[in-house]
Amino acid sequence: MTHAAKGKEDSKEAAQAAAKPKGKRGRVVISKDKCKGCKWCVEHCPKGVLETGAEFNAKAYHYPRVKAGMEDACIACGMCELICPDFAIYVVEEGGKNDA
């Protein structure tokens, strides 16, 4: 690799590292067929990570999904998990004790 190419690669990595948010991170797991489409999780996520998807589940409800481009935005606050009346969503803390 040339110096120029190496420099370009380094700055790309630095930009990616800068774009990745710091602090606690989470990954949401959605049990789509338990969902009744109430949207509470969508409405109460403080980071706006979730949206209602276009697909239907087995009960003919639209279930939530993570918005495109928001995969790293979850702060593992647990609000979605706490507020869901049907235990249809939970959060796994990335790199934390719950991480499988």
Residues that bind ligand SF4 (CB under 6 A): 26, 28, 35-41, 45-47, 49-50, 63-64, 74-80, 83-84, 86, 88-89, 91
In the bound complex, what is the minimum distance in angstroms from residue 54's beta carbon to ligand SF4? 14
In the bound complex, what is the minimum distance in angstroms from residue 59's beta carbon to ligand SF4? 10
Output the CA angle 18-21-25, nearest 5 degrees.
145
In this complex, which beta carbon is closest to ligand SF4, that of residue 15 or of residue 82?
82
CA distance 32 to 90: 11
Point out which residues pair with 29 in neighbouring strands: 90
CA distance 64 to 28: 10
Q: Which two tokens stand for residue 62?
A: 């639209």
In the bound complex, what is the minimum distance in angstroms from residue 42's beta carbon to ligand SF4? 6
